[in-house]
Amino acid sequence: MEPPDSAVTLYGEFTSTGNRRVRYAVSLTDEELIFQRLTSSSTVQRNKTRLSLRDCVGSRAHSGEDESDHAAYFTAYFYPLRRRWMSPGTCRQRVEQSFRLAALQDPSYNLEEAEKWAREVRERSARLHAPRDELVLKEPAHRRVMLLVNPQSGRGQALSLYNSHIQRMLQEAGVAHSLVITERQNHARELVREMSLVQWDALAIMSGDGILFEVINGLLERPDWEQAIRTPLAILPGGSGNALAASVHHYSGSTPVSSEELLLSCGFLLCKGLVSRMDLVSIHLSSGARVFSFLSLAWGFVADVDIESEKYRHVGAARFTVGTLVRIASLRTYRGRLAYLPAALDNCNDQNNLQTSWPVSNLYSFKNGCSISELNSCHSNNSNNREENIRHSNLSGPGPTDSLLPPLDQPVSSNWVVVPEEEFVLMLAMYQSHLAEDLFAAPDSTLEDGLIHLTYVKAGISRTALLRLFLSMEKGAHLTSNCPHLFHTKVRALRLEPQSPKGIITVDGEAVEYGPVQAEVHRGLARLITG
Ligand SMILES: Nc1ncnc2c1ncn2[C@@H]1O[C@H](COP(=O)(O)OP(=O)(O)OP(=O)(O)O)[C@@H](O)[C@H]1O
CATH of residue 110's domain is: 2.30.29.30
Contact at 8 Å (CB) between 432 and 447? yes
Tell me if 213 is assigned to some domain.
yes
Reported as a pLDDT band with limits 50, 70 and 90, residue 107 is confident
* pTM of the predicted protein model: 0.87
Across the chain, what does the average pLDDT equal? 86
Please state the rounded mean pLDDT for residues 160-172.
Answer: 95
Does 244 contact ligand 1 (Cβ within 6 A)?
Answer: no
Strand bridging mode 233-237 / 202-207? parallel
* CA-proximal residue: ligand 1, atom 1 (nearest): 183
**3-state SS, residue 157:** coil
Pick the more confident residue, 139 or 513: 513
User: Domains in the chain: how many in total?
Assistant: 3
**Start-end of H helices in 36-179:** 107-128, 158-161, 167-173
Query: Which of these three, 128, 157, 178, is where a domain ends?
Result: 128
Reported as a pLDDT band with limits 50, 70 and 90, residue 74 is very high
Does 239 contact ligand 1 (Cβ within 6 A)?
Answer: yes
Which pLDDT does position 43 carry in this prediction? 55
Count of Cβ atoms closer than 10 Å to residue 131 Cβ: 11
What pLDDT, in 10s, does the model give residues 5-25?
668 889 999 999 988 889 999
What pLDDT, in 10s, does the model give residues 388-432?
333 445 466 789 999 999 999 999 999 999 999 889 999 999 999
Does 154 contact ligand 1 (Cβ within 6 A)?
Answer: yes
Please state the rounded mean pLDDT for residues 160-187.
Answer: 96
Q: In this structure, are 187 and 302 located in the same domain?
A: no
What pLDDT, in 10s, does the model give residues 227-249?
999 999 999 999 888 999 999 99
Query: Which of these three, 228, 245, 280, is where a domain ends?
Result: 280
Does 436 contact ligand 1 (Cβ within 6 A)?
Answer: no
Task: Compute the distance between CA of residue 16 and CA of residue 120 in angstroms, rounded to an integer.
Answer: 20
Q: Which residues are known to be catalytic?
A: 209
Reported as a pLDDT band with limits 50, 70 and 90, residue 378 is very low
What pLDDT, in 10s, does the model give residues 50-62?
999 999 999 999 9
Weakest mean pLDDT among 41-45, 191-195, 287-291: 41-45
Does 151 contact ligand 1 (Cβ within 6 A)?
Answer: yes
* CA-proximal residue: ligand 1, atom 14 (nearest): 210
Distance 6 CA to ligand 1 centre (A): 54
Tell me if 133 is assigned to some domain.
no
Question: Is residue 41 predicted with pLDDT exceeding 50?
Answer: yes
Task: Compute the distance between CA of residue 150 and CA of residue 186 in angstroms, rounded to an integer.
Answer: 11
Range of the domain at 515: 284-520
> Phi-psi category of 241—alpha, beta or left, where left has phi over 0 and alpha has psi -120 to 50?
alpha
What is 370-430 written as a DSSP string?
A: B-GGGTTS--------HHHH------SSSS---SS---TTSPBPTT-EE-S--EEEEEEEE
Distance 154 CA to ligand 1 centre (A): 8
What is the number of the ligand 1 atom nearest to the C-alpha of 241? Answer: 26
Query: Which of these three, 71, 94, 128, is where a domain ends?
Result: 128
The listed range with the strongest mean pLDDT (35-44, 75-84, 256-265, 304-313) is 75-84
What is the number of the ligand 1 atom nearest to the C-alpha of 237? Answer: 26
What is the number of the ligand 1 atom nearest to the C-alpha of 214? Answer: 31
Q: In this structure, are 214 and 270 located in the same domain?
A: yes
Contact at 8 Å (CB) between 340 and 358? no
* CA-proximal residue: ligand 1, atom 3 (nearest): 184
Does 218 contact ligand 1 (Cβ within 6 A)?
Answer: no
Instruction: Give, to the nearest 10 degrees, the angle between helix 259-272 and helix 243-251.
Output: 60
Q: In this structure, are 230 and 290 located in the same domain?
A: no
Which pLDDT does position 369 carry in this prediction? 35
Question: Is residue 311 predicted with pLDDT exceeding 60?
Answer: yes
Q: In this structure, are 249 and 219 located in the same domain?
A: yes
